[in-house]
């Protein structure tokens, strides 16, 4: 399996793109503005989108992607998410007001897009790849994802904050090698992080005391303009974990 980072910022501007990752050449993990970095030929190949939650920075480019390639593909793009996320997309995004309902275009029998509900903890198998929704805790219903090649697993937290169930699930993954986890705010904004159910460095340091696996940790979803401060604070309070900044175009092979 190969996972290419298309966007990993908590905002946009000056090259920053919001969350999107390309698994091999046919699966998106979230579909923020980073999807715009793909060429048309790359977008045509995408058959599946796995969505952590319904916030715009993670779903904003689903409408543009489907609109761009739907008419030149021979099968629908499948959007996979937990039911509350699918309900939000259906009611508030693909609702004929904000955007057309591509599950009915050009018709019900041959749509450009379809939905498939995921259940937390239940693994979805896709051509030798295992994708498992993991517990997460945010302001809306959300999950993280375990991506398992069989030999190695990578966990992406999605947007989350303190959540014991996440670590209980992570600690059961025997072949875990990589952990991509969010830290949206610096410590000065700890109160905002708590209220918006994100991490800041001090909160993440507290949470990682629950981690029982030896993993490589990469930090994502940092607010533009705060990344250097956040990384400095992370190294000060949890340097023993050697956290690294996730970068656009970074490639994980596992």
* Distance set, CA 192 to CA 53, 175, 198 (Å): 20, 34, 8
CATH number of the structural domain spanning residue 46 = 3.60.15.10
Number of folded domains in the chain? 1
- Secondary structure element (H or E) that encloses residue 217, with its range: strand 216-220
Q: What is the pLDDT of residues 165-222, one digit of tens each?
A: 999 999 999 999 999 999 999 999 999 999 999 999 999 999 999 999 999 999 999 9
This prediction's pTM: 0.98
Q: What is the pLDDT of residues 208-251, one digit of tens each?
A: 999 999 999 999 999 999 999 999 999 999 989 999 999 999 99
Q: Is 32 exposed, middle or buried (0-12, 13-18, 19+ CB in 10 A)?
A: buried
State the residue range of the domain holding 167: 2-253
> Helix H segments across 111-183?
164-170
Cα angle vertex 124, ends 123, 130, to 5°?
80
Res 76: pLDDT:
98
């Amino acid at each position: 399996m190969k996972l290419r980072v298309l966007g990993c910022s908590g905002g946009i501007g000056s090259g920053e793109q919001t969350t999107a990752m390309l698994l091999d050449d046919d699966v998106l993990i979230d579909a923020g503005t980073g999807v715009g970095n793909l060429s048309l030929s790359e977008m045509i190949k995408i058959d599946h989108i796995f969505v952590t939650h319904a916030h715009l920075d993670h779903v904003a480019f689903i409408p543009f992607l489907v609109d761009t390639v739907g008419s030149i593909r021979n099968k629908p793009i499948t959007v996979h998410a937990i039911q509350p996320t699918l309900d939000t997309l259906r009611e508030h995004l693909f609702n004929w007001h904000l955007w057309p309902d591509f599950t009915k275009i050009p018709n019900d029998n041959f749509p450009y897009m379809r939905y498939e509900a995921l259940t937390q903890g239940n693994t979805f198998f896709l051509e030798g790849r295992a994708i498992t929704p993991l517990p997460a805790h945010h302001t809306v219903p959300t999950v993280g994802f375990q991506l398992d090649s069989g030999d190695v697993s990578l966990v992406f937290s999605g947007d989350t904050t303190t959540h014991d169930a996440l670590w209980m699930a992570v600690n059961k993954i025997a072949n875990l090698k990589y952990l991509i986890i969010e830290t949206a705010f610096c410590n000065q904004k700890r109160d905002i992080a708590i209220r918006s159910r994100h991490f800041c460095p001090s909160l993440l340091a507290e949470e990682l005391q629950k981690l029982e696996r030896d993993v490589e940790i990469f930090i994502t979803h940092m607010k533009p303009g705060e990344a250097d401060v956040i990384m400095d604070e992370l190294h000060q309070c949890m340097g023993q974990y050697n956290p690294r900044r996730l970068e656009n175009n970074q490639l994980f092979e596992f």
